[in-house]
Structure 1
Amino acid sequence: MTTAPPTRRYDYETDGSQIYVDSFATIRAESDLSRVPADAEKVAVRMIHACGQTDLTRDLVIHPGLVSAARTALEAGAPILTDANMVASGVTRARLPRENDVMCLLRDPRVPDLARAWSTTRSAAAVSLWADRMEGAVVAFGNAPTALFHLLEMLRDGAPRPAAIIGTPVGFIGAAESKQALIDLAADEPGLDVPYLVVTGRRGGSAMAASALNALAQERE
């Protein structure tokens, strides 16, 4: 085991706290945060921090009631339901206000049979298993457009309504369309105005979804 650091050959910041402070200062200097609701500014900053893309606010669409709805739900002990284990793994448990459950059911043994029977993806089939926990939950999609589409179809069929939906599935097939369908849900189905956060277009991913959840779980940056 080595007991000494390597020879210092590069000029770089090594103070973790200073890196953190400087990173968020850079984000605020380079991003147009006027595009997001005032109470969602820290959510946007944390998402930019996760992806390194200061132009992310150009594609962020945040419902005006998203932050208050999600925080109220989490403070009441609501679970977080996700489409991907990477999203669940990215949630910082210490930030959760009530030791909230964070669940991804992709590995549930019922999922493969459901996916085959319904001719859909396992990610979509897993969402059906959320039904008994979905009322008032905070749900997040960081990977699978089919899972987000499936949730919207469940809601249209009268499934329990979550408190908030984070929609950041990534990809080239169905990602942009699924997120637009979430934005359009209230207009298409009066009475289904569920607060949401969406990264429009093709970009997204588990890191973005997890960073949004972490910011919503606790206002501290």
Structure 2
Amino acid sequence: MKPQEIENLSFKIIEQEAGDHAFSDDQWPIVRRMIHTSADFEYMNTIRFYPDAVKTGIKAIQQGCQIFTDTNMARVGIRKKEINEFGGKVSCLIADKDVANMAKEKGTTRALAAVDMACDRMKGGIYVVGNAPTALLRLIELIKEKKASPALVIGFPVGFVNAAESKDELMTLDFPYITNKGRKGGSNLAAAIVNALAIMANEHK
């Protein structure tokens, strides 16, 4: 089978097994792609959308926004074709020398330093966290202080230390986000969400 045929069949199986659900027409493509990426239907119960977050993300992509990720894995996993068609760009600063130097000077993680380094460039963009709770917590702090103003935060850090807590903190913000409850997450899921948004952005242009 060709790749597109495999994906189409996978989506058909997911639709059958998911059954009836309460997701909106713009939310379901995101949840479905998350299930396709992880083979985990639990995300139907744990995902959380800020009101109109999907529309906000689609609009940002259509306006050629800058997308920052906390890992190169997420950056590589994001479909560039759809993003580039609108003039957008996907970047990860985790390996940047200036980020490494900043992290060393401040005694913090590179993931956190990368958020600081991107602060002035993320206005109207999308910040994607698929691994590091420290990155998400720092981003939340900067948003609260009105020092950072991305259009949308996709928060899916994974793990046992502050992953669930950082996502709970994100959900206290009156700010566009897509996230989930609990420890599960990952760069592959975070990238899948951006891909779903990018596909819808192209379909609705």
Q: Same fold, TM exceeding 0.5?
A: yes
Instruction: List per-residue Cα deviations over 1:160-187 (Å, max 9, x = no partner).
Output: 311111011111101000001000122x
Query: Retained in 2: the 8 A contact 1:40–1:67?
Result: yes
Q: In the alignment, is residue 44 of structure 1 matched against residue 37 of structure 2?
A: no
Measure, in 1, the Cα distance between the counterparts of 2:134 and 2:20. 30
1:98 is displaced (CA, Å) by 1.0
Task: Supply the AA of the counterpart residue of 2:183.
Answer: R
Unaligned runs of 5+ in 1: 1-13, 187-193
Q: What pairs with 1:181-196 in structure 2 (closer than 5 Å)?
A: 181-186=169-174, 194-196=175-177
> SS state of the match for residue 34, structure 1?
coil
Q: What corresponds to 2:156 in structure 1?
A: 168
Query: Retained in 2: the 8 A contact 1:141–1:148?
Result: yes
**After alignment, is 40-49 or 155-164 more displaced?**
155-164
> SS state of the match for residue 130, structure 1?
helix
1:117 is displaced (CA, Å) by 3.0
Query: In the alignment, which of 127, 136, 139 is matched to residue 139 of structure 1?
Result: 127
Unaligned runs of 5+ in 2: none
Q: What corresponds to 2:49 in structure 1?
A: 62
1:15 is displaced (CA, Å) by 4.4
Q: What corresponds to 1:111 in structure 2?
A: 99
Task: Supply the AA of the counterpart residue of 2:68.
Answer: L
Task: Supply the AA of the counterpart residue of 1:91.
Answer: I
After the TM superposition, which parts of structure 1 deviate over 6 Å for at least 4 consecutive aligned residues? none
Q: What pairs with 1:74-89 in structure 2 (closer than 5 Å)?
A: 74-89=61-76
**After alignment, is 152-161 or 168-177 more displaced?**
152-161
TM-score of the superposed pair, with normalisation by structure 1:
0.85
TM-score of the superposed pair, with normalisation by structure 2:
0.92
1:75 is displaced (CA, Å) by 0.5
Task: Supply the AA of the counterpart residue of 2:57.
Answer: A
Measure, in 2, the Cα distance between the counterparts of 1:177 and 1:32. 30
Query: Retained in 1: the 8 A contact 2:139–2:148?
Result: no
Measure, in 2, the Cα distance between the counterparts of 1:176 and 1:37. 25
Instruction: List per-residue Cα deviations over 1:30-75 (Å, max 9, x = no partner).
Output: 2266243331110111111111112211110011211110111111
Q: What corresponds to 2:17 in structure 1?
A: 30
Number of residue-to-residue matches in the alignment: 200
| Cα RMSD (Å) | 1.5
Q: What corresponds to 1:148 in structure 2?
A: 136
Query: In the alignment, which of 187, 202, 208 is matched to residue 183 of structure 2?
Result: 202
- Percent sequence identity is 37
Measure, in 2, the Cα distance between the counterparts of 1:114 and 1:103. 18
> SS state of the match for residue 22, structure 1?
helix
Measure, in 1, the Cα distance between the counterparts of 2:4 and 2:123. 39
Query: Retained in 2: the 8 A contact 1:165–1:195?
Result: yes
Instruction: List per-residue Cα deviations over 1:174-207 (Å, max 9, x = no partner).
Output: 1000001000122xxxxxxx21110211000011
Bigger radius of gyration, 1 or 2? 1
Task: Supply the AA of the counterpart residue of 1:145.
Answer: P
Query: Retained in 2: the 8 A contact 1:139–1:166?
Result: yes
Task: Supply the AA of the counterpart residue of 2:151.
Answer: A
Q: What corresponds to 1:94 in structure 2?
A: 81
Measure, in 1, the Cα distance between the counterparts of 2:154 and 2:115. 14
